[in-house]
Amino acid sequence: MSFNHISMAAQDWRLQRERFERLFGFRSLRLFTAQPGTPIEGCVSRIRNTPTEWEFLQPDGPASFVQKFLDERGPGLHHLAVEVPDIEEAVAELERLGITPFGGISEDTMWWMAYIHPRDSGGVLWQLYQPRPGTSMNGTQGEAGEIGFRRLDHIALGSPDLEAQAAWQKRVFGMEVEEPWEVPDQGYKGCLMRIPNSEIKFEILEPLGDEGFLQDFLAKRGKGLHHVSCEVESLDLALEAFAADGIEPPGGVGGERWKRNIFLSPRDTNGVLFQLFEEPSA
């Protein structure tokens, strides 16, 4: 398998794309329109220096599953997608693991697809797809956007049980734990996992103790995708660019324990919690 894209739901994909193009330098790759049985429209964008794409989904009509998602959870991360060489084999393998993709195998003009329900995966809607013959993806280096975007580093999941979650990710996707850590004074522990055939990592965070941002997140949203972490060329330049846009990171600059970083409020991104960090200068 290979990790292909991060998908977010928004009421207006054009506005959302414009926002991320301006801030992060995302570049449109292709648009898609609603089809019978697929009541969504949107676009897929290239993330600079990252072989992972970003999908913007907009519901086509009030009965769309994306409209239901927006009504229940608001705009934000919707699913993660992996490409598999053979969808039927992938589904058979999942069934051997005791996981039944809901809705069976579906198709559109580009892909055959199957979905793992969040209740089976620890809170993530996983899309598995096999491209139909003749479908080609392309990409460009892209630009850095206003804030000096460098690359996507990892996607993080909030979970009440890190060990069980890591075991699931390993069993189903072959991910390997790289470095576990604990931050008791901020009330969480975590680990990074290597995703096979991918440069981006998967992070799992579990609450430690009774209080902290993660406890609040799990109580409010339930287990699921928590943040997306990206490297910028310079955190100070990014802060300046945000300030010019009237965007201020609510928690200020952190990073005593890790790299200098900020979190953007999901209010400023229309529902996605972004962490931005810079590599320490040598």
- The half-sphere exposure of 11 on its side-chain side, counting CA atoms within 13 A, is 9
Cα separation, 29 vs 149, whole angstroms? 18
Residue 81 or 232: the one with the smaller Cβ distance to Fe ion is 81
The binder of Fe ion chosen from 40, 90, 91, 156 (CB under 5 A): 156
Q: Which amino acid is at 224?
A: G
Q: Site mask, Fe ion, residues 23-62, x = CB under 5 A? A: --------------------------------x-------
64 binds Fe ion (CB under 5 A): no
Closest CB to Fe ion among residues 66, 99: 66
- Cβ–Cβ under 8 Å, residues 173 and 1: yes
- Of 3-11, 45-53, 87-95, 258-266: span binding Fe ion (CB under 5 A): 3-11
Q: Which two tokens stand for residue 279?
A: 């590599």
| Residue 226: both structure tokens together | 């928590």
CB closer to Fe ion, 229 vs 270: 229
Residue 6 near residue 203 (C-beta atoms within 8 A): no
In angstroms, the Cα distances linking 242 to 46, 260, 265, 268, 271 are 21, 16, 12, 10, 17
Residue numbers 95-124 binding Fe ion by CB under 5 A: none
Separation of alpha carbons 225 and 124, rounded Å:
7
* Minimum CB distance to Fe ion smaller for 90 or for 156: 156
CA angle (122 as vertex; 120, 172 as ends), nearest 5? 65
> Least distance in Å: CB of 132 to Fe ion?
15
Does residue 203 interact with Fe ion by CB under 5 A? yes
Phi, psi (rounded to 5 degrees) for 174:
70, 25
For the record, the structure tokens of 242 come out as: 């945000």
Q: How many residues bind Fe ion (CB under 5 A)?
A: 7
Smallest gap, in angstroms, from Cβ of residue 244 to Fe ion? Answer: 26
Nearer to Fe ion, 6 or 94 (CB): 6
> For residues 67 and 75, what is the distance between their CA atoms, to the nearest angstrom?
10
Please select the residue that binds Fe ion; options are 10, 44, 66, 81, rule is CB under 5 A.
81
What is the pattern of x (binds Fe ion, CB under 5 A) and - over residues 218-237?
A: -----------x--------
Phi/psi class of residue 37: alpha, beta or left (left: φ > 0; alpha: ψ in -120 to 50)?
left
From 3, 7, 116, 142, residue interacting with Fe ion (rule: CB under 5 A): 7
Pick the piece of the chain touching Fe ion (CB under 5 A) from 61-69, 91-99, 163-171, 195-203.
195-203
User: Which tokens hold the place of 206?
Assistant: 């579990």
State which residue, 146 or 231, has the beta carbon closest to Fe ion: 231
Interface ranges with Fe ion (CB under 5 A): 7, 55, 81, 127, 156, 203, 229
